[in-house]
């Protein structure tokens, strides 16, 4: 079936390396970065059609792992041709992380694919960081669409566990949450935006930043469509994802280091979620000098009086009065501000 795929047929034999491995095979392409993903998608589409026509006992399931790297042609002890090298080794380790019908890629290859074409952004989704052999750690992406891949995240014991910590070298001057209800028919489609105004409080430069997104319902990280931008609205790279059913911790690579005394450095995190409940709650895992929440709804939103509460670490709950409410186009923007310092484990809650 692989030999009939257009990608395979269009590749010159001199650019192909093929090694059967029992119930699978290693295929290496010398010519291009896009050939592995194209072949994987095409093979899955063919397998899907095949599996619809046969009995369950005759259906074929696959796992595919891809990577880019060096491959060497060597001879084994019996003078047989073999393929070996870091490109093949990591592809196998990535494949071993997957479940049935999953197409998995390491983050290093995804970065290159995104530079080649924007078309891959809709089918390639980050999953989680995994521990691989020799205590290495790898951010893995899943490729899926209508006729290929498997949307369900791999269930693998090698997922790196979340350790909730605050950024030790960063301090926040202000944190802003913008909550925009796009569609209030349940489940509510809500767009979230977080803006972090931060500074470096240590003598060492800061190169990365950690942000944790908590949800009160079970959510896969790829369903949140998380994106990150800097103060110039330039997209930033997510280098690490630690995910549980209710918490997603991402590590963001800053476009340039933040030195002590630097100001006007912003990080904006956006994501979307379908919410079943009419409330939003957030527990702070870092301190901030100021906090602002903007709640954006259409004029016909049924609840005209949302309530905003501040809950300190001693569980004292205080109703916060809105700072302002303005009409902006077809929407209302309701704003609450907390100008006193917010500490670790304080909570804010919006009910609407």
Query: For residue 107, what is the DSSP state?
Result: H
The domain that holds 344 is classified in CATH as 2.60.40
Please check whether residues 245 and 346 belong to one and the same domain.
yes
Pairing, β 265-275 against β 227-230: antiparallel
155 has pLDDT over 60: yes
- pLDDT reported for residue 133: 75
DSSP-derived secondary structure for 6-41: HHHHHS-GGGEEEEE-SSSEEEEESS-SSHHHHHHH
22 has pLDDT over 90: no
Q: Let me know whether 219 and 301 are in one domain.
A: yes
Q: Name the pLDDT band for 162 (thresholds 50, 70, 90).
A: low
Mean of the pLDDT values across residues 214-243? 91
Average pLDDT, the chain: 89
| Pairing between β-strand 63-65 and β-strand 102-106 as defined by DSSP bridges | parallel
Separation of alpha carbons 174 and 249, rounded Å:
20
**Range of the structural domain that residue 43 is part of:** 2-104
Over residues 165-187, the mean pLDDT reads 79
Of 104, 127, 157, which one is at a domain's C-terminal end?
A: 104
- Of the three residues 48, 83, 104, the one that is the final residue of a domain is 104
Q: Is the pLDDT of residue 154 over 70?
A: yes
Same domain, 87 and 206: no
Same domain for 205 and 345, yes or no, is yes
Does the pLDDT of residue 217 top 90, yes or no? no
Q: What is the pLDDT of residue 120?
A: 92
Domains in the chain: how many in total? 2
The arithmetic mean of pLDDT across residues 257-279, rounded, is 88
Rounded to whole angstroms, the Cα distance separating 235 from 213 reads: 18
Comparison of pLDDT for 270 and 274, the residue scoring more: 270
Q: Check residue 239 and give left, alpha or beta (phi > 0: left; psi -120 to 50: alpha).
A: alpha
Is the per-residue pLDDT at 168 higher than 80? no
Q: Is residue 274 part of a domain?
A: yes
Residue-wise pLDDT tens digits, 87-117? 999 999 999 999 999 999 998 898 889 888 8
**Model pLDDT, residue 216:** 82
| pLDDT value for 327 | 93
pLDDT value of position 161:
59
Q: What is the pLDDT of residue 197?
A: 94
What CATH number did the domain enclosing 52 receive? 3.30.70.1230
Q: State if pTM tops 0.85.
A: no
Does residue 75 sit within a domain?
A: yes
Measured in Å, how far apart are the chain's first and last C-alpha atoms? 54
Confidence of residue 226 (pLDDT cuts 50, 70, 90): very high
Asked if residue 214 and residue 93 are part of one domain, the reply reads: no
Same domain, 77 and 206: no
């Amino acid at each position: 079936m692989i030999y009939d795929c257009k990608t395979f047929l269009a590749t010159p034999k001199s650019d192909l390396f093929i090694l059967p491995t029992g119930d699978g095979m290693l295929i290496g392409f010398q010519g291009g970065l896009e050939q592995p993903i194209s072949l994987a998608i095409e093979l899955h589409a063919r397998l899907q059609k095949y599996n619809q026509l046969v009995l369950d006992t005759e259906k074929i399931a696959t796992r595919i792992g891809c990577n880019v790297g060096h491959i060497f042609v060597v001879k084994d002890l019996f003078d047989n041709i073999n393929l070996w090298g870091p490109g093949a080794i990591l592809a196998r380790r990535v494949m071993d992380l997957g479940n049935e019908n999953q197409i998995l890629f390491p983050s290093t290859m995804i970065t290159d694919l995104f530079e080649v074409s924007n078309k891959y952004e809709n089918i390639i989704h980050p999953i989680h960081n995994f521990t691989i052999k020799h205590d290495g750690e790898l951010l893995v992406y899943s490729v899926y669409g209508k006729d290929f891949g498997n949307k369900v995240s791999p269930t693998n014991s090698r997922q790196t566990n979340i350790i909730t910590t605050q950024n030790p070298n960063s301090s926040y001057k202000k944190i802003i949450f913008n909550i925009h209800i796009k569609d209030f028919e349940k489940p509510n489609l809500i767009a979230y935006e977080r803006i972090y105004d931060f500074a470096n409080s240590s003598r060492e430069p800061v190169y990365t930043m950690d942000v944790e997104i908590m949800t009160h319902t079970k959510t896969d990280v790829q369903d949140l469509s998380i994106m990150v931008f800097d103060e110039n609205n330039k997209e930033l790279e997510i280098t690490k994802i630690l995910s549980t059913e209710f918490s997603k911790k991402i590590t963001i690579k800053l476009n340039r280091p933040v030195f002590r005394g630097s100001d006007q450095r912003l990080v904006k995190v956006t994501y979307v979620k379908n919410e079943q409940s009419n409330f939003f709650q957030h527990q702070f895992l870092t301190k901030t000098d100021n906090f602002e929440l903007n709640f954006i709804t259409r004029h016909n939103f049924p609840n005209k009086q949302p309530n905003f509460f501040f809950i300190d670490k001693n569980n004292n709950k205080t109703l916060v009065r809105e700072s302002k409410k303005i009409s902006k186009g077809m929407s209302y923007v309701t704003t609450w501000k907390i100008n006193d310092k917010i500490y670790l484990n304080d909570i804010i809650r919006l009910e609407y």
